[in-house]
Amino acid sequence: MKIMGLLFILVLLASSTNFIAYSQTIVETLPGFPGPLPFKLETGYIGVGEDEAVQLFYYFVESEGNPEEDPLIIWLAGGPGCGTLRAFFFEIGPMQIQYGNYMDNVPALQLDPNSWSKVANVIYLDAPTITGYSYTKTPEAVRSSDTASASQTAEFIRKFVKTHPKFLKNPMYVTGISYSGIVIPIITEELYKGNDEGLEPIVNIQGYMGGNPLTNKTGDINSRLEYAYRMALISEELYESTKKDCNGDYAEADSNNLQCMLDINEVNKRVGDINIQQILDPDCDAVTNLVRGGNPVTKENRRLLRGNPVNLRPAQSMLTDTFCRGDNYNYATLWANDENVMKALNVREGTVDEWLLCNLDMKYNYGKPSMPLYEFNVQNSVVYHEKLSKRNCRALIFSGDHDMMVPHVGTRNWINSLNLTITDSNWDAWYVNGQDAGYKTTYARDNYTLVFATVKGAGHTAPEFKPKECFEMVKRWFAYRPI
């Protein structure tokens, strides 16, 4: 949808409809799933920002274990501007899509055995502003930024626990993936700070978690070169010459440095056909640019979806077919845009013209200071990790070791910059079902602890590639056990 058309609709809605600041619905059945849901699902809106003009939509799944004591977590998708249904269906949520099967004229759903809701109360939030089913009541509130998004999400959390007082005592964690790595530590610090200032209600914030988290934008981009060399995608000679000629800075390389530009061009020739999000997957997107590559979003062919839904997923047995993981997301788009689905979720009528996997007017691309609906005004969120390292706080940072988008190399670099003390594990293996699931390092400073773990074989959104391993990891971490 064009922006001006969107703004017109927002003005129309604001002038013709009276909205309440908070609403909730208990969803007992969903199109595509047979019978009543075997878990408690709540959806709703909470207004944030000036005059609560931003109406944030959420899905809340109560813990299937011990909801009175299990942690309360909020999960933030990346993008920015990607709907949290991706997490709900493909990463950590209670349901999966049965590819190729249909029920109630939508993709059929089944339960996910590795749902994080088995050990936690999970809020899936559509943020910021025009993301997923969220919307704004005024045109002025549409545009967001890193700092505005973080502030509004912190406001959302405090309002959520106020309207759900039975969770006030549950340990609270701010969690998410990919681009949300920029805002997660900001939100967490804001919650701690708000508690210090006596904001009501007091949130029982205990820490945070980031999966494949973009953190130091320049550093994370720069680490792609070392990662490509470590994974044998470029030669040692090319790696060393590029590092020397570019003075170790590729993200901000001087365009007048001809030799550096030539080296980077040679690197891009080698990795152009590599899937930057999972280097072992087929490359189904645009040519990979190691330096300027931002946050690619798989294109969706909605016309094809509606015209020929039976053939959505290519046959795996045909050797001539290439499996494109992004094709799976089209099922979520088809499901989320169904009128009966929106009614079941109690999406406010007229607020969303079309549900999109990601709002491309917010999508991050390195080197751009802003997009039409979003300003990238935090270049590096490490300073917030430094602030949190002085608090009574726990952190879990994990990376898929086949992710070249935000490589574990760069993540470990900024963690090391915190000057924490390595405690009982230093790149030790951790196991699931007796098999090596990755490697972990544990850090501490006073009352602050941080666990950094790689997930073997996982890509940019680690739980999507290794759901069992990631579930076991967080299950142990929530329980204060070594992962």
Q: Which residues are catalytic?
A: 178, 403, 460
CA 193 – CA 184 distance, rounded (Å): 14
Q: How far is CA 117 from the centre of its chain?
A: 17
CB 346 within 8 A of CB 43: yes
Tell me how long the chain is: 483
Q: CB–CB of 224/190 below 8 Å? A: no
Shortest CA distance to 13 belongs to which of 115, 176, 189, 142?
142
What is d(CA 411, CA 395) in angstroms, rounded to the nearest whole number?
A: 13
Cis peptide before 128 (omega within 30 of 0): yes
Do 243 and 259 touch, CB atoms closer than 8 A? no
Q: Give how far Cα 22 sits from Cα of 45, 47, 53, 156, 167, Å.
A: 5, 6, 12, 10, 17
Asked if residues 197 and 190 have their Cβ atoms less than 8 Å apart, the reply is: no
CB 59 within 8 A of CB 43: yes
d(CA 88, CA 75): 10
What DSSP designation does 363 have? Answer: -
Structure tokens at 152: 């509004």
Query: Over the Cα atoms of the chain, what is R_g?
Result: 22
**Residues 6 or more apart whose Cβ sits within 8 Å of residue 401:** 408, 438, 454, 455, 456, 457, 458
Quick one: CA torsion of 440, 444, 447, 448, rounded to 10 degrees?
-60
Tell me how far apart the alpha carbons of residues 135 and 317 are, in angstroms, rounded to a whole number.
42
